[in-house]
Amino acid sequence: MSAVQTLFETALNAQKAAYAPYSRFKVGAAILADDGKVYAGCNVENAAFPEGTCAEAGAIAAMILGGGSRIAEAVVVGDAALCTPCGGCRQKLKEFSGDDVVIHVANLDGIRRSFTMAELLPAGFELEQKD
């Protein structure tokens, strides 16, 4: 199975686990990290709506906890024509991605479009001082 196909299937499984009783829109994300491991996340909503978290945030947290430090490639899955990462998630992804990292956007049928990080977030904010 190709790396992207593995990421797609992992994201699809994560999507099934999403907790989205308010929007009813489940999202799954899978990241291939620089350590060669795949990390997944799903959206977790909250009755206090802004407290909910996106699938990408969950996958990034899993990556950091699991020992990965940079994103090599990622897939986001939602049952929509084009479930692109929200603005906040673009900034979160940028923290761990070079401009050429590819983020694939999928629905239940497979990858629909692929964007580089620079396409998703041109001129994104960054600070030079990072640990």
Q: What are phi and psi of 10, to 5 degrees?
A: -65, -40
The answer to whether 87 and 118 have CB atoms below 8 angstroms apart is no
Active-site entry in 9, 45, 51, 56:
56
Q: Which is nearer to ligand THU, 5 or 23 (CB)?
A: 23
Is residue 56 among the annotated active site residues? yes
Q: Is 20 in the site for ligand THU (CB under 6 A)?
A: yes
Torsion sign over Cα 51, 88, 18, 10: negative
Contact call for residue 43 and ligand THU (CB under 6 A): yes
Q: Is 45 in the site for ligand THU (CB under 6 A)?
A: yes
Is there binding between residue 46 and ligand THU (CB under 6 A)?
A: no
**Nearest distance from C-beta of residue 17 to ligand THU, angstroms:** 12
Among 13, 35, 52, 95, binds ligand THU (CB under 6 A): 52
How do strand 38-42 and strand 27-33 relate by DSSP bridges?
Answer: antiparallel
User: Exposure string (b/e) for 110-131, b if CB count within 10 Å is 16 or more?
Assistant: eeeeebebeebbeeeeeeeeee
Residue ranges in contact with ligand THU by CB under 6 A? 20, 23, 25, 27, 43, 45, 52, 54-56, 76, 85-86, 89
